[in-house]
Structure 1
Amino acid sequence: MPIHLLPPPSATAPERTEDEEPQAVRFAGLRLVHAALRRDLARLPNALRLLQPGEDAKGEALLRHWDFVTAMLTCHHEQQDTRIWPIVRRFAPELRLLLNWLESDHHNLDHSFTRVTTLVRIASRDTGSVWPVAYAIEDLAARLETHLRIEERQLLPRMAGVFADNSRVGGLPELLDLLRSADGPGSADALAWLLEGVEPSVVDRLLAECDDDVARSWPHWRATYERCTSPLWGPVGDWGILPD
């Protein structure tokens, strides 16, 4: 089912002329992480269920991908708790209770992902345990979905009034900067993971916000990502459309 990073255009919205610059995607870094987490937490359980005895290499690849997803979630929470929430608390003090709850739930989710990581590690080597572990991932995905919806419906609209339209806060370049400075996923892997499924025209807009080295390296990063992940759930295909 298609997912969309940008809302579909209104039937009455005026068309953009060729002379107009495309608008940046507000809080694209946050939205892309949300979409990628939903995508992978939906397909990882099925990939585990299909794991057969003797497929040790595939089991190890699934575990590596799970570890990557968990690391990206941790980085996402760090970006919010240390870079974004303090600014929102200062300029929108009425949101403090909501931010306190979100930050507390970040810690709870991080602990839950750590516990499930132990189960995924077992399942990647013992196919007899894949079904209960797949159910555990689905339960965790449902819990995370509640958290993501609260951020998207209650917080992001209010953040739009706190940060200027051209602010880097919550954007893709800020997230890539954080990844470069953190001891976590590489920015090449992260960018390919984030942009999987994004409509090509939107990818071009997002890459235009990044530095020249990122845009120049993108085709190679994408090709490498496809080679690594296609054994898990097939080729990426046209990199269709991504969610809001």
Structure 2
Amino acid sequence: MPSRLLSLASPSVPAQAGSQCQRAADEEPQAIRFAGLRLVHNALRRDLARLPNALRLLQPGEDEKGEALLRHWTFVTAMLTCHHEQQDIRVWPLVRRFAPELRLLLNWLESDHHNLDHSFTRVTTLVRIASRDAGSTWPVAYAMDDLAARLETHLRIEERQLLPRMERVFARASRVGSLPELLDLLRSADGPGTADALAWLLDGVEPAVVESLLAQCDDDVARNWPHWHATYQRCTGLLWGPAEALDGSAE
């Protein structure tokens, strides 16, 4: 599934005519501001669009696929929790300090994080039942759809009202909301491992963008990425088919 969220625009800096340095700069991918936050948003949208359909297609006797669906939903829920922790513990306090006029918006977002976490936990109970009973998949899929619509409202508020303000508050080189910051949080938390998390975050992202993002990470991550990516594709292929099939259907 191609990523539409993480397209990279060329810098809007005036160039002198015939400047080779400027042309080279225009051709280089630009760093994505707050990539850790944006990648999670992208991945949540992607999976909340395809998980309900995968659940509806679950047939009686497909126990292995049912277990895989439950595992993936549980993983998505864990990543959402880590995302909220990154925001509430690391990002929002800094925004409150340097942009106090945003405190009411941040208070609402933090409160909605708790509400969303509880809602995802309740749906997890339903998915656990549906993964073993194909007759109950459709109502649970509708519950996923409703939760996806509610989450979309939250994500749009962050992207339209908060991130543009944060771009003016934090320097471009800041680690706040970055992919390395998110990976550091995952390493210190009792949650998804770096390999699974990174493969999930970069699933469907254009190769040039992936290369740019991996360049921000440490050498161990870049070295192990091909293996992590291949393993993730094999594990999720049971849910929605090979990545090649998805790419072909999106064209």
TM-score range, shorter chain: over 0.9
The answer to whether the Cα contact below 8 Å between 2:48 and 2:144 also exists between their aligned partners in 1 is yes
Corresponding letter in the other structure for 1:125? R
SS across alignment from 1:23: coil
Q: Distance in 2 between matches of 1:135 and 1:81?
A: 29
Tell me which of the two structures has the higher relative contact order, counting C-alpha pairs closer than 8 angstroms and 6 or more residues apart: 1
Q: 1:152 to 1:16 in 2, by over 3 A?
A: farther
Alpha-carbon shift at residue 237 of structure 1 (Å): 2.7
Give 1:125's aligned residue. Answer: 132
Q: How far apart are residue 25 of structure 1 and its match?
A: 1.1
1:171 paired to 2:178 = yes
In the other structure, the counterpart of 1:94 is 101
Deviations 1:22-59 (A, max 9, x none): 43211000000000000000000000000000000100
Is 1:213–2:188 an aligned residue pair?
no
Q: Percent identity at matched positions?
A: 81
Which structure would you say has the larger Rg? 2
Query: Contact 2:8 / 2:30 at 8 angstroms: preserved in 1?
Result: no
- How far apart in 2 are the matches of 1:6 and 1:47? 27
Which residue does the alignment assign to 1:230?
237
Cα drift, residue 176 of structure 1: 0.5
Aligned partner of 2:210: which letter? Answer: V
What is the aligned residue count?
A: 240
Structure with more helix by fraction: 2
1:75-94 deviations in Å (ceiling 9; x for gaps): 00000000000000000000
Q: Deviations over 1:8-29 (max 9, x none)?
A: 5599987741698643211000
Give CA deviations for 1:60-109 in whole Å, capped at 9, x if unaligned: 00000000000000000000000000000000000000000000000000
- Counterpart of 1:66? 73
Structure 1: stretches of 5+ with no match in the other structure? none
Aligned to 2:161: 154
Quote the Cα distance in structure 2 between the aligned partners of 1:126 and 1:189. 27
Cα deviation 1:151-182 (Å, max 9, x = unaligned): 00000000011111001110101100100000
Q: What's the offset of the Cα at 1:4?
A: 3.0
Matched with 2:82 is 75
**Cα gap change, 1:160 to 1:19, in 2 (>3 Å):** closer
Partners of 1:49 and 1:117 lie apart in 2 by: 16
Report if aligned partners of 1:68, 1:185 keep a CA contact under 8 Å in 2: yes
Contact preservation (8 Å) 1:58, 1:231: yes
Q: CA deviation at 1:236?
A: 1.6
Instruction: Indicate the RMSD between aligned Cα atoms, in angstroms.
Output: 2.2
Which runs of 5 or more structure 2 residues have no equivalent in the other structure?
16-21
Which position in structure 2 is the counterpart of 1:32?
Answer: 39
- Structure 1 residues 15-30: aligned runs within 5 Å: 16-17=23-24, 22-30=29-37
Q: Distance in 2 between matches of 1:5 and 1:65?
A: 23
